[in-house]
Amino acid sequence: MPAQLGINGFGRIGRLVFRAASANPDVKVVAVNDPFMPLDYMVYQLKYDSVHGRFNGTIAMSEEGGKEFLIVNGDRIQVFHEKDPAAIGWGATGSDYVCESTGIFTQKDKAELHLGGGAK
pLDDT greater than 90 at residue 108: no
pTM value is 0.91
Strand, helix or coil for residue 65: coil
CATH number of the domain at 109, please. 3.40.50.720
pLDDT greater than 90 at residue 72: yes
Residue 113 banded pLDDT, cuts 50, 70, 90: low
> Which residues form the domain of 20?
3-116
Question: Per DSSP, which regions of 9-91 are E strands?
Answer: 27-33, 48-49, 53-54, 59-64, 67-72, 75-80
- Tell me how many domains the chain contains: 1
pLDDT score at 116 = 67
